[in-house]
Structure 1
Amino acid sequence: MRIRTAGVVAALALALAAAGCGGDGKPAAKESAKAAGGKLVIWADDKRTAALKPFAEKFGQENGVTVEVQAVSKELQTTFVTASQQGSGPDVVVGAHDWIGNMVQNGAIDPVQLSGDMKSAFNPTAVKAVTFNGQTYGVPYAMENLALIRNTALAPEAPKTIEDLVASGKKLQQEKKVSEILCLQVGQKGDAYHIYPLYASAGGSLFGTTANGDYDPKDLGVGKPESIAAFKKIGALGEKGAGALKRSIDDTNSISTFTGKKCAYLVSGPWAVTDAKKAGITYDISAVPPFAGGKEAAPFVGVQAFYVAAKSKNKALAQEFVANYTTRTDLAVALYQAEPRPPALTAALDQVKGSDPDLAKFQEAGKNGQVLPAIPAMAAIWDPFGKAESAVVGGADPTATVTAAGKTIAGQIK
Structure 2
Amino acid sequence: MNALSSSEHIADAIDWAAAFSSYGRRATASEIRELLKLLDQPGIISFAGGIPDPALFPLEILAEAHARVFADPALAQAALQYSVSEGYRPLRDRLAQTWRDQGVELDADNILITNGSQQALDLIGRLFLDPGDVVLSARPTYLGALQAFNAAAPRHGDLADLATGPKAKLAYVMPDFANPTGETMGMNQRSALLADAEARGVTVVEDGAYVSLSYDGEPPPSLLALEAAAKGSVDPGRVIHCGTFSKTIVPGLRVGWIVAPRPVIRKLVLLKQAADLHTSSLAQIVLADVLDHLGPGHIQALRAAYGERRDAMLAALDRHMPPGVSWSRPKGGMFVWVDLPEGQDGAALLQRAIETERVAFVPGGAFFATEPRRNSLRLAFSLSDPATIEEGVARLGRLLRSEAAR
For Structure 1 versus Structure 2, the TM-score category normalised by the shorter chain is under 0.3
Kindly indicate which of the two structures has a greater share of residues assigned to helix: 2
Task: Give the TM-score of the pair, scaled to structure 1.
Answer: 0.25
Task: Give the TM-score of the pair, scaled to structure 2.
Answer: 0.25
Larger relative contact order (C-alpha < 8 A, sep ≥ 6)? 1
